Amino acid sequence: MSYPKVLVGVVTYEGKDYVWDKVYKNLQNLSYPNYDILVVDNTKDMKYYEKLKKQGVNVVHTKRGKTSREALTVSQNYIRDVVLNEGYDYLMFIESDLVPPRDIIERLMSHNRLVVGSMYYIGHHWSKKEPPRPCLFETVKRGDTTRTENINPVRGWDYFGNGLQLIHGCGFGSTLIKREILEKFKFWYTLEPPIKHSDVLFYMDLHNAGYRAYVDTDIIVPHYNSNWGDVKDI
């Protein structure tokens, strides 16, 4: 049996070291038979890169730039370039604080979609301002403008347990993207209001071009997330 070639791409920096051992063990034990791991570190200095390198991680370092959004997007495009230049069929994004099930690649690939992600929450159980909510996106009409925004938490949780669902978009935390989509779309960011991350803008581009994205709602991927407020160069 032939298995499509998958690159598992992980963007990280020193601020995620608190969960790295758990994440890396999970990456090494995915059950899909034909994948490689590429970790891109965008810490400002080289110390964390050197630590990961000594651990045996297949890691490269990219410049952080002026903001975390710039750092994330540069790192994501580095991974995209590797997929396109080295003959991979899929990119499997796994964020550096998520621990998906061992069969996540097979599971998402079985849906045979161009873009399919997983449900996971953002926010914190201890926060009144940012309580946990699914990282799912929808289009919202604001005056004469159509925008991409997070789905209302109440409606978001209603998605859970309903199999494969058509969705405007979902966070990149555990997302499988076919090569043909990466050939058409790069990752980008903007600091112009309203400020959005690259995943939101990616799904906006797909939507505008007539492509559909999906989410597997039958699991909630564990998310060991830190507080965005702790990121100084956000």
User: Can you list the domains of the chain with their CATH numbers?
Assistant: 6-222 (3.90.550.10)
Are the C-beta atoms of residues 88 and 179 closer than 8 Å to each other?
yes
Are the C-beta atoms of residues 181 and 211 closer than 8 Å to each other?
yes
Q: List the chain residues with pLDDT less than 50.
A: none
- Please report the pLDDT score of residue 67 as a whole number: 87
- Please report the pLDDT score of residue 24 as a whole number: 98
Helix (H) or strand (E) holding 75: helix 68-85
Are the C-beta atoms of residues 170 and 136 closer than 8 Å to each other?
yes
- Please report the pLDDT score of residue 83 as a whole number: 98
Backbone angles phi, psi at 174, to 5 degrees: -150, 80
Q: Please, what's the largest Cα pairwise distance for the chain?
A: 53
Beta bridge partners of 4: none
> Which residues 6+ apart lie within 8 Å of 110 measured at CB?
none
- Please report the pLDDT score of residue 131 as a whole number: 81
Q: What is the CB neighbour count within 10 angstroms for residue 21?
A: 10
> Which residues 6+ apart lie within 8 Å of 114 measured at CB?
177, 178, 180, 181, 211, 212, 213
Ramachandran sector of residue 161 (left: φ over 0; alpha: ψ -120 to 50; beta: rest): left
Backbone angles phi, psi at 230, to 5 degrees: -85, -10
- Please report the pLDDT score of residue 197 as a whole number: 84
Are the C-beta atoms of residues 20 and 43 closer than 8 Å to each other?
no
Q: What is the DSSP string of 120-171?
A: -EES-TT-SSS--EE-EEEEEEETTEEEEEEPPHHHHHTTTTS-EEEESEE-
> Which residues 6+ apart lie within 8 Å of 210 measured at CB?
none
